[in-house]
Every structure is written in C-alpha cells, then in structure tokens.
Structure 1
C-alpha cells in the first residue's frame, strides 16, 4: 500500500486538474425547451409563476391537478365521489393538446356551473375550438430581432414585449358580438391573441402566448406586470392548476427532474468537493479490496546432522587414540557391505573368496588380494598404531573408488 500511495495521489491530482480544466473550457449550454413545467427552473419552465400563485390569490386554495379533467372534475362534482366540490378557476399553461374529448366536455361542464377556465397555449383542442366557434392561425415574425409586442385592449393595463419569438398565433375567427377582445399581439400588424368567451353561467379566457408565463420572461425587466394584468381577469377564487401533461411526461424524462442534491451540484465548489470525495472513496475501496494475508513465519528446515555426527564420533575416537576400536569397526562395516552388495560369505578369506570378490566388484585381483591380506594381518595383531588405521583406510577407499 505504501508503494502504491504516490501513484494514487498522482492519479487523483490528474483527475482533479483535468476536471477543472474541462470545467473552465466548457461552455454551459442552456436548455430552451418549452416544457411549461411548474417544477422546472429552466428558462421556459414556469416555476416562478407557479410559486407566485399563492401571493396573487391570497387566502385562496391552490390545488395542483395531476389527473385528466374528465376524472378529476367529475369526481369533485356535486354528484361525484371526491373530497370537495370543485369551484373556482381552472388554469392551464401550455401542453393543452393532451385533453381528450371527455375532458373538454367536463371542463365545459365545470364552466357551465359558474366557474372560470383560463388556457394559454398556441392551439386548443379541436372540439373546444368547434364548440366555441373559433379558429387560430400563425403569423411569421419578419423582424430580425424576433421581438413581438403584446398589449391589452384596456390601455390602463401593462403591455410588454417578448423576444426569441419566431411568430405569433392569433384568432382568425371568433364571435365578434359575444366574444370580447382583451388583447393583441403585433409583429407587422396587430392581431387578436386574447379573448373572453362567456359560456352559460361561467367564463372562458383564451390566450395564445404561453411564453409570457415562463421563468425567462418573468425575470426580464418588468415583463411580469403583463402576467399580473392577465391574471387580474380571473375572479378572486380558488385555483385549480393543471399539471397532468407535465406529470405524465416526467416518466419519459422529458421534463426536468430535481433532487435535493441538485442545488449543491450547481455550485462549482460543492460539486468538485463531492466529485473528489467520490473519487477518493472509489480508489480507497479498490486498493483495500486486495486480500490481506497474515505474515507467514519463516521456518528453518531441519539440517542433516549425520555428517556432523560422524565427524564428532570420529574426532572422539581419534582424540582418545583408540585405534583398535576404529580398525575393528571399519573392517566390520566393510565385510557387511560385501555381504549385502555381492552376496558373498566372509567367514573364509581364502583365494576363492578373493577371486569372487574381484570378479563381482570389477576390481583387479591383486588390489583385492592386498586389501584382504592386510585385513588378515591386522586382525592377527594385538597392538595397533595410527599408521595401521591410515593404511587400512587407504586400501578400503581404493576398493570403493
């Protein structure tokens, strides 16, 4: 581990430096998708507008609807099974194409009971347009700066401008007698983009520029005043904010998903502190995942003490000068080897024995005869000297050679 520590530190340093270099060079891209999602803080999300609703409608109940109106409004009707009777204003900003015919019928029924419907979108459901007798067309913006002007028929209300706008939708057909013109959009000429439609006991407000509700426009100058003027047409009543389409799209990942960690990851210092901690953690796990083995003690193998033992014994005999004992043992060991190796009887050391031993050992008869005769000579003596032991050992070693 100590040897690999410098390598780990170098890798971590390179990763951190590389990450900061990429961060400095990378140009942050902005997502301009028109999600109209009330949870999104991106330019064309409507998070700011959604959070301001409680201030615009003080002391009123703000409910977010995550169901089709055909089920939600039906459940919360006088004959329904919901927890209350729906009364107030139903607001829909963008993505209204999800509505089914049953939902259109239920929304119109909701309005018929004296309630209000407000929709801001580029187009509306075909059944809604047919029922109200309206048609919508698109006018391309010829201006290079892509700016459109939005205003109200009531001159006391705030007008505004909207940029990054390729063109405007407008009402090409509506009931000019029963429908009230509330606002206009202007590119090269003024066209109707905001109307009020009385419907039985209630009211419907249709607006054709949902981008005015987005975060980008509300934070730019005093454009928020235009939205305040739009909302001022709604009665001071409970609000039903439609979020069905955005809620459904979230399963497909089309809208922004935020977590509690998202704010920290948006901060450069926090983000790289987090990444560094993760990198160190991973490296720690990798290098500590190796199997740790206890130190194995080195066991010294047993030594062959036979040679040392022989040396010790021979030195003992040599120092005591017991030549007779040594000579007797060497002769005894020699004859024992002859009996075991050559299968010869050593009782009679005669000429026949010498001949057989020389033949089986592959030695010269004269050398064998010299050895055997010297053994017989020593065995006949009573006193022994060092010279006798040395000479006997010489003859025996020559036989073994």
Structure 2
C-alpha cells in the first residue's frame, strides 16, 4: 500500500511540474486563416456576425442551412417535403466556390420568386457570372496592405481594411440594370458591391468577405460599414449558409468543433481537464486491484422473442427515436426491393424509379414520390413523428396489392 501511495505522489508531482513549465514557456499564436466559419472565434471566423444576425432581425426566423441549397430549397419549396416554405434572404459569406450548377439554379429560382440572395466572396461561380453578365478582377496592393471600403447610400467615412494584399472588384457589369452600392479603393475606386434585379427578387454581390469577420467587426468603427450593408436586406427570414458542409467533404484539416473545444483552448482549463482525467484513470487502476469482480448469476436461456420485440418497440416509442426507426424502415424496404425485384438500390435515380415501377406494377408517379421522400429523409439529422408516420403510409401503400 505504501508503494502505491509513493507512486501516486510522484505522478501528481510530475503532472503539476509539467503544467507549470508548459504554462510559462508556451506562447499562444494567432491563426489568421480565412475560414469564414460561423462557429470559429478566430480573427477571420464569423462567430460574432452569426450571433448578432438573429438580434438584428429579431422579429424574423433565423435558420442555418447545413445542406446544399439544391436539396434544402427543393424540400422547402411549394409542394416540397419541408415543414415550411423558404422565403426571405439567403446569405453566403466566403467559400461560394462549392456551389454546383443545380444549387445555383435553385438559388436563382429562389430569387426569381421574389426573394433575396446575398453573397460576399472574392469571386463567384462562373455560372453566376455568365447568368448575370458580369466579371470580377483582382488588383494587387503595391504600396501597403490597406484598402478602403465605402457605401454610396450612407454618409460614412471610408472604412479601413488592413492585412489586405489586394482587392477583388467588378470589372464588367450592366451599368443600366445593375446598381453600384459600394466601392473598394487602393489606388482608385472600384465597384465592389452590386445590386442585381433578377425576376421578382434581387441579388446582392459583395467582394470583400473579410469585412464581416470577427477581427474587422471589433476593430475601430468598421461595424458601421457592416450595419450599412445589412440595411439593404429586406425585413424577412434569414437563411445562413453554413461553413460546415462546404469544407468537410474536401479538406481533412477542418476545424473540428466540439463541446470541449473552447475549454481546451484555455490553458488553465486544459490542464485541469487533463489532471482530472489522469486521476480518474489512476483511481480505476488501483481500485480495480482491491475489489473482487462480481460473479454473475447465469440463468437458463428462455424464448423471449415476443417480449424482446415489445421491449424494443416500446423503447423506441418512449425515447422518440424517430430517426433510428426511419433508418431501419428504409433499410428493410430497400432490402426487400433487392430481394423481390433484383434491383440495385445504391443509386436511387430516375432510371431506378422507372424500373421499380415497371417490376412492381405501381404507378411511376407514386413510386417517384416514395423514393424522393426516402432520399430527402436520408439528408435529415432530425425527424418528427409525423414524418415517420408519413413514410410508413407510403411504404404500406407500395406493399399493398
């Protein structure tokens, strides 16, 4: 026992010594990466803007879009499977190069029906440039790393943007139809903020996304510029395009956010956590040696299949685990399709729908509704009981003769 106590005292001393040495010697560096992550507190993250937008538009819904605009807007369109119809302003800050043609088409249709699209990025997808007949160019800052931003409709002093190696601007646009709302300036003024009418709505394009980041919102009076830009948005619901879905599929070096991420960034909390973790492991090791393991009582096996099924079903019902039930129902339904109709269910496209309708003798329109609903449910992180019941009705209707 005395040997164990000596070992514990030595470990504690080593941990405390290491914590003190590291706290004295370590220096915290600033990460200036332009992630435009709405959860990031780094200088070029968007956490401040993300928290303030619901307060600025407090009388309207604020929703974060974690899916591609194509799937999200289709689901929340008139006749879609969403629980509401998406109307208002769709916001994208940086990283707009992820937009594929189908997502751009949905966004343009969203604007055409009377809504608003706002994108702030250094450049825009080629399809947007071609559709709106505009071009962007980049001018390098030859003197220093400072440029200036201004708005045409607000009496504000030019806002300084430092740590800026150059500016993107609109080199070509329709001067009769497109309205210039702001300029950037290095050697001379360049149009960097446009209002473009499209159908019954408007598209706002802005070429300096750094202006919306944490660093610039807190520096001097630069927040006034952001207030002026946001003032152009209509008083309607907001849809914030999340950084998460943009980067995760393409880069392994994404910031991984967790409940402990902020605490682990704070040195004192970090060492408190590690110390508690070490003590917990030591307690488990030494405590396990002192106690005899519990001898289990083995009872004869019984046929409890029916009771098991009832228990599992009650468990899902009581815990409201609708997502799990939906995933299982979809899995069993697709397995049945593979067995009965000998169809490959890896790709649920139009060809698959037509072949399934032909083999099952069901109407192609009914089969398409069921398969599209299954595809949409797979993209959802959370579902409701009503959606589970709706899926069950579709599957029962398909299985009926």
**Bucket of the pairwise TM-score, normalised by the shorter protein:** 0.5 to 0.7
Task: Give the deviation of 1:286 after TM superposition.
Answer: 4.4
Supply the distance in 1 between the matched residues of 2:272 and 2:151 (Cα, whole angstroms): 51
1:119 touches 1:206 (CA, 8 Å); kept in 2?
yes
Question: How many Å apart are 1:77 and its aligned residue?
Answer: 2.1
Quote the offset at 1:225 in angstroms. Answer: 1.2
Counterpart mapping for 1:163-178 below 5 A? 163-178=162-177
Taking the TM superposition and a 5 Å limit, the aligned residue runs for 1:164-203 are: 164-203=163-202
Q: List per-residue Cα deviations over 1:170-198 (Å, max 9, x = no partner).
A: 11111111111111111122111111111
Partner Cα separation in structure 2 for residue 153 and residue 184 of structure 1 = 8
| 2:247 matched residue in structure 1 | 249
User: What does residue 151 of structure 2 align with?
Assistant: 152
Deviations 1:96-140 (A, max 9, x none): 111111111111111111111110001111011001011111111
**Corresponding position of 1:348:** none
SS of structure 1 residue aligned to 2:168: strand
Once the two structures are superposed, the pairs formed by residues 78-97 of structure 1 within 5 Å of their partners are: 78-97=78-97
Contact 1:211 1:217 in 2 (8 A): yes
- Per-residue deviation at 1:254? 4.1
How far residue 8 of structure 1 moved from its aligned partner, in angstroms, is 3.3
Question: What's the RMSD between the two structures over aligned residues?
Answer: 2.2
Any idea what the Cα deviations from partners look like across 1:238-259, whole Å, max 9, x if unmatched? 111112x523534655443333
Please list the CA deviations of residues 180-232 of structure 1 after superposition, one character each: whole Å capped at 9, or x if unmatched: 11111111221111111111211111000011111111111221111110010
Structure 1 residues 254, 236: closer, same or farther in 2, change over 3 A? farther
Is the 2:192–2:206 Cα contact (8 Å) retained in structure 1? yes
Residues 279/215 of structure 1: CA separation in 2 closer, same or farther (3 Å cut): same
Give the TM-score taking structure 2 as reference length.
Answer: 0.68
Residue 13 of structure 1 aligns with which residue?
Answer: 13
Report deviation, 1:84.
2.1
Q: 2:37 aligns to what?
A: 37
Tell me how far apart the structure 2 counterparts of residues 272 and 151 of structure 1 sit (CA, whole Å): 46
Contact 2:169 2:207 in 1 (8 A): yes
- Report the alpha carbon displacement of residue 22 of structure 1 after superposing the two structures with TM: 1.6
Gaps of 5+ in 1: 294-401
Following superposition, the deviation at residue 60 of structure 1 comes to 0.7
CA shift in 2, pair 1:292/1:109, >3 Å: closer
Are 2:69 and 1:72 equivalent residues in the alignment? no
* 1:46 is aligned to 2:46: yes
Q: Report Cα offsets for 1:61-106 as digits up to 9, x if no partner.
A: 1111122222222222224332222211111111111111111111
- Give distance in 1, aligned partners of 2:181 and 2:254: 32
Q: Is the 8 A contact 1:89 1:234 kept in 2?
A: yes
Change (3 A) 1:274 1:66: closer
Shift of residue 26, structure 1, vs aligned partner: 1.2
Please, what TM-score do these two structures have when normalized by structure 1?
A: 0.68
CA distance in 1, matches of 2:252, 2:30: 17
Aligned to 1:107: 107
Larger-Rg structure: 1
